[in-house]
Amino acid sequence: METPHPQNPFFALGQSVGLAAFVWGYPLIETLRTCRMMVGGPDGPQDPRQFPMETLRHKQAVNTSEDRTVVASATDLLYGSAWINLANGPRVVTVPSSVKHKGRYFVMAMYDAWTNNFANPRSVTAPNEGERFVMVGPGTPQSMVLPADLRVVNAPTDLVWMIPRVLVDDPKHLDPVFALQADMQVECPPQTHAGRVPSSIRDWVGNLKNPIDDLVARPSAAAEIAEHFFTNLCHAMVDTPAPEDEQGIVAWFKTARIVPALNFSWSALPKPLRDGLQQGLVDAVALIQAAANVDANALNKKPWDIHLHLGRYGNDFLLRALVAWRGLGANAGEVSLYGNCHNDASGEPLDGKHRYTLRFAPDQLPPADAFWSVTLYNQDRFFYPNRLERFSLGSLDKHLHRDPDGGITMLLCHEDQGDDPNWIPTPPGAFYLSLRIYEPSPEVKDWIGPLPSRIAAN
């Protein structure tokens, strides 16, 4: 007689592997899902917002509440995006001259398929006259001749997501930003393929919803979500093999038949194993959510929850998954630091039914050599639509009123405050804040920022 599922060893194995494989593989799947959304499927771009592989597409307007592709985006930068498949051949990247563009800040952040930020050519580190380099991946054909006069950047994976960011100091005058964007280039040398997408993106299975958010919205669809996630993961491990030092965990996944395979069949797995993998996925989602809550509410942490080691995660798979859920495409710490704030100074969750002030004393301003900003997000990690379309304030906002002592006090509330330049509108319910510090100075490791203070009701 078959053992009931909870005591069945295959169920237990599936549950254990399912939890670990989801936490480990979720960032990879999020990368592929985002790529599929941006470049399209087997027939290429089918939507005006999509663009081909190996094409650098720049935004021509500051992000608004209508932008809902990438969570936790910013308003003080104009973003770009290029999806590069180095299995198609090497790519030549052009970095603009900082002198030509009068020192305007930019960074051309490059991420591998696991979300590691492996390279950051930018205005403060690139040669003043700019440069060109050639990028190759582990699957770049060895027979291809590389330009002899260019330095070589080795990407950890064949799929690379490049996200250029260019400083916007005046949203009404973007021509200098456009000019800098135009000098960023991704070139496909002769005799290389262009536009061919990895098979795991071309043959994507299921909808294009974030699996964590999808499970939260549709808990009864756990079986469907698990089938699609683990099928996509097995496909993905063919295009993007695990790093050498992670082959041990991949060998463990194989005991539950989660293997690199384009012909993976979920229905061929024994039912106890499928049910265990499904339960493991549910457990993993709960773990990531719990980690986010612990991170937000820990009593012994500094305000603003600043992590100094984002962007390059090593074997911290839970942090990598947490960041991929909160905001895909985090920069390495030498470029920018991020801090989230979910509670007020009394430890209570931020909520738009209350009014808050956030005051930075003159000696408490974020230690940034480039710029800093505070951005407000809805609980869904997107901007809250409001009359002013104002979502952030920071060092670039020339209209901000300074306190008499030189500090800055921001007002956070839902009630309309007219044209108050220090007001960030909040939703009527829960929200959170994110602090960005670009080119952080060394003092940041000891910096302790203020938390929002609730204004007492009249």
176 and 213 share one domain:
no
Per-residue pLDDT at 232 exceeds 90: yes
Q: How many domains does the chain have?
A: 3
pLDDT for 4 beyond 70: no
Decide: 74 and 108 in contact? Cβ < 8 Å: no
Same-domain status, 436 and 309: yes
pLDDT of residue 309: 83
Residue 313 domain-assigned (yes or no): yes
- Is the same domain home to 446 and 433? yes
Confidence of residue 414 (pLDDT cuts 50, 70, 90): very high
Listed in sequence order, the DSSP H helices in 255-315 are 271-297
264, 361: one domain: no
Structural domain including 343 reads: 300-454
If you write DSSP's letter for every residue of 250-267 in order, what string do you get? HHHHHTTT--S-TT--GG
Note if the pTM is more than 0.75: yes
- Please give the Cα distance from 375 to 139 (Å, whole number): 39
What was the pLDDT predicted at 1? 35
Give me 344's structure tokens: 């007020």
Distance, in Å, from the CA atom of 254 to the CA atom of 259, rounded to the nearest integer, reads 5
Max Cα-Cα span within the chain: 79
Say if residue 274's pLDDT is above 70.
yes
Confidence of residue 298 (pLDDT cuts 50, 70, 90): low
Rounded to the nearest 5 percent, the helix, strand and coil shares of the chain are 30, 20, 50
Evaluate if residue 124 carries a pLDDT over 60. yes
Confidence grade of residue 301 (pLDDT, cut at 50, 70, 90): low
* pLDDT score of 260 more than 80: yes
pLDDT in tens, 319-332: 999 999 988 899 99
* Final residue belonging to a domain, choices 152, 172, 196: 196
Collapsing DSSP to helix, strand or coil, 6 comes out as helix
Chain-wide mean pLDDT for the chain?
Answer: 93
DSSP result, 50-94: ---TT--EE-SS---TT--SSSS--SSEEEEEEEEEGGG--EEEE
Q: Does residue 287 register a pLDDT over 80?
A: yes
Q: Are residues 155 and 251 in the same domain?
A: no
Residue 356 sits in a domain whose CATH number is 2.60.120.600
Which of 126, 161, 196 is where one domain is finished?
196
| Phi and psi at residue 9, to the nearest 5° | -60, -30
Burial grade of 244 (CB within 10 A; 0-12, 13-18, 19 or more): exposed
pLDDT grade for 336, boundaries at 50, 70 and 90: very high
5 pLDDT tier (thresholds 50, 70, 90): low
Of 71-80, 291-300, 359-368, 412-421, the least confident: 291-300
